[in-house]
Chains A and B, each alone.
Chain A
Amino acid sequence: MARILVIDDDELVGRTIARVLTRGGHEVVTATGGAQGCALFDAQRPDLVLSDLVMPEQSGVEVVRELRRRDPDMRIAVLTGGESFGVPLIDSLGPLKVGAILRKPFEIADLLGTVDALLAAPAR
């Protein structure tokens, strides 16, 4: 049982992930953008963050960078629905020590498996 922060601009995706993780025994808070996500991060101190990659206001890469500044050891996974054309965001994740990349749409077992594996590993 862990506290997990989910950041995805698509509200339906956020709700879906929350539902699956809650059923998996976790406590979930959701945000629809980077600013809200960081505020929730400060207020709730989650054990793990799942952030979408392509978001309108702040990209997932920027959000992760922001979170890393607050907590260099936080467990972070990134979600992606495949990127739009252009400079691939996914390539700039390298130095940000992202624990996993999860592709949407996923099987429930993939989501829970990824989350459990990250939680089992010591926070870095």
Chain B
Amino acid sequence: MGGNWHEGAGAPDPADRDRLLARAVSATTSGILITAADLPDNPIIYANDSFCRITGYAPGEILGRNCRFLQGPGTDPGTVARIRAAVTEGRGVRERIVNHRKDGSRLCFDLVISPVHDAVGRLRFFVGVQNDVTRQVEAEEALRAGEARLRRAERLEALGRLTSGVAHEFNNALTPILSLTELAVRDVPPGELREDLEVVLRAARAARGVVQRLLAFSRPEPGEMRAVPFAEVVADATRLLRPGLPEGVRLSCPEPAGEFPVLGDRGQLLQLVINLLGNARDAVGPGPGAITLDLAPAELDGLGAEALGLRPGRHVRLDVADTGPGMDAATQEHIFEPFFTTKGPGEGTGLGLSVAHGLVTGHKGAIAVRSAPGKGTVFTVHLPLAAGATDGPEGQSRGEEPRGKETGTADGAHSGDRR
């Protein structure tokens, strides 16, 4: 027998040793099983109490069966194949395997199987030891998810640095192009030259529009900070989008359970919801299909907040779900990057979600996506609720000093004018 006994005065005799070891097996918090290798399908002939406690099965539901009843949809077939090979060859094996408790919940085992032979070397039994490592596995998964989120955030920040630098240069370069062409158009008499200059002017204004969207991604303009009823913003966005929807597409937005005041810029928040709705509309296409909005309070505790990269506290959660084609993981990895689009030329510039990301971040919120090919898509936005929510829509604007008149926003974009 393996293990080490102290030999000498007071050492237990062989019968006591077996009794003591049996007691150790029943007292340990690890699961311990014995299977009969020479019976058909290697059935369980012993299970300690810890095994029953961990898995939630009664002894009567276990004994006489093969252990594979613990496996389920979360179990990796490769792991099972390796165990099968070892058991078939009578070898020992150690694997981390995903099982399920009787109630269906996920159970991660560190499983060690060792063969037991009789005096003439014939394989008779297997002993299995199961340690419950579910908590460790969950912690590792959370860490990995956090790292992936951080990597994405770093990539977006690097892109933000790049785009804001480019945008700054272009805004300067566009200033003479736009203003001097405008002056020239006034001076030149009607004719071909003037028409040409007007084309230059239109192109310069279009370029300005693109640059502004880039800036919205990299660093949202400070804009206004007021308590904005987010429920109204969402209603406004649906009102704007609904008329353009094809017959077969249903847009539903259940009555929200409150105003959900969010500290921010109403124009920017509207832009955010419109960008998400626009993508959902494009995804559903001519239909039939559905776009479903949901607005609900979300109290984020430490763990929930950390998973989203947010501060704990009261938030509002907006879900924008569509029954469109969905996205694979590779696509999802890039959707928030500027100019990433799967839409044809002239149909999308790939700025909608990068702007949405910039706006959400500027409002100290988080945006996430859940999607799979053929399963539709859900975008989820979390925004912190305005503290106290005492000041209404006309609440105090940010900053002690009036910032003065702001002009020069292009193409009817929201201008933060507040003299």
**Are the C-beta atoms of B167 and A85 separated by less than 8 Å?**
no
Chain A residues whose CB sits within 8 angstroms of the CB of B204 once the complex forms? 105
Assess whether B247 is interfacial by the CB under 8 Å rule. Answer: no
Which one of A10, A20, A85, A88 lies within 8 Å of B160 (CB-CB)?
A85
Would B407 and A106 count as touching, CB distance under 8 A? yes
Cβ of B183 and Cβ of A20 under 8 Å apart? yes
Cross-chain contact B168 with A84 (CB below 8 angstroms): yes
- 1/0 contact trace for B388-419 toward A, CB 8 Å? 00000000000111011111110000000000
Interface residues on A, range: 35 or more
Closest beta carbon of chain A to B41's beta carbon, Å? 64
A2 contacts which chain B residues (CB < 8 A)?
Answer: none
Question: Which of B161, B178, B182, B408 is within 8 Å of A102, CB to CB?
Answer: B408
Q: Which of B169-177, B257-265, B375-383 is near enough to bind chain A?
A: B169-177
Which of B165, B167, B211, B403 interacts with A94 by CB under 8 Å?
B403
Say if the beta carbon of A39 comes within 8 Å of chain B: no
A40 within 8 A of B: no
With an 8 A cutoff between CB atoms, is A42 at the interface? no
- Those of B137-176 within 8 Å (CB) of chain A: 157, 160-161, 164-165, 167-169, 171-176
- A13→B176 contact, CB < 8 A: yes
Are A16 and B176 within 8 A (Cβ)? yes
Q: In the complex, identify which listed stretch (A25-33, A43-51, A62-70, A107-115) lies at the interface while the others stay far away.
A: A107-115
Q: Cβ of B363 < 8 Å from any Cβ of A? A: no
Report the nearest A residue to B208, measured CB to CB.
Answer: A105
Contact residue among B157, B161, B215, B399 (Cβ-Cβ distance under 8 Å from A82): B215
**Which of chain A's residues has its CB closest to B407's CB?**
A110
A3 vs B265: C-alpha distance when bound (angstroms): 37
- Which residues of B sit under 8 angstroms from A119, Cβ to Cβ? none
Q: How many of B's residues come within 8 Å of A, CB to CB?
A: 37
Residues of A within 8 A of B160 (CB): 85
**Is B218 positioned at the interface, with any CB of A under 8 Å from its CB?**
yes
- When the two chains form their complex, are residues A103 and B408 in contact, meaning their CB atoms are under 8 A apart? yes
Q: Is the CB of B406 within 8 A of A20?
A: no
Interface pair A20/B179, CB less than 8 Å apart: yes
On whether the beta carbons of A104 and B408 are closer than 8 Å, the reply is yes
* Beta-carbon contact of B175 and A19 below 8 Å: no
Q: A91 contacts which chain B residues (CB < 8 A)?
A: 222, 399
* Neighbour of B405 across the interface among A15, A16, A117, CB < 8 A: A117
A-B contacts, 19 of them at CB < 8 A, read: A12-B175, A16-B176, A20-B179, A54-B168, A82-B168, A82-B215, A83-B168, A85-B157, A85-B164, A91-B399, A95-B401, A101-B404, A102-B407, A103-B408, A104-B174, A105-B174, A106-B408, A107-B178, A114-B405
Binding site for B on A (CB under 8 A): 10, 12-13, 15-17, 19-20, 23, 54, 81-85, 88, 90-91, 93-95, 97-108, 110-111, 113-114, 117
Given contacts A16-B175, A104-B171, A105-B408, 6 further A-B contacts (CB under 8 A): A82-B167, A84-B161, A100-B405, A102-B408, A105-B208, A106-B407
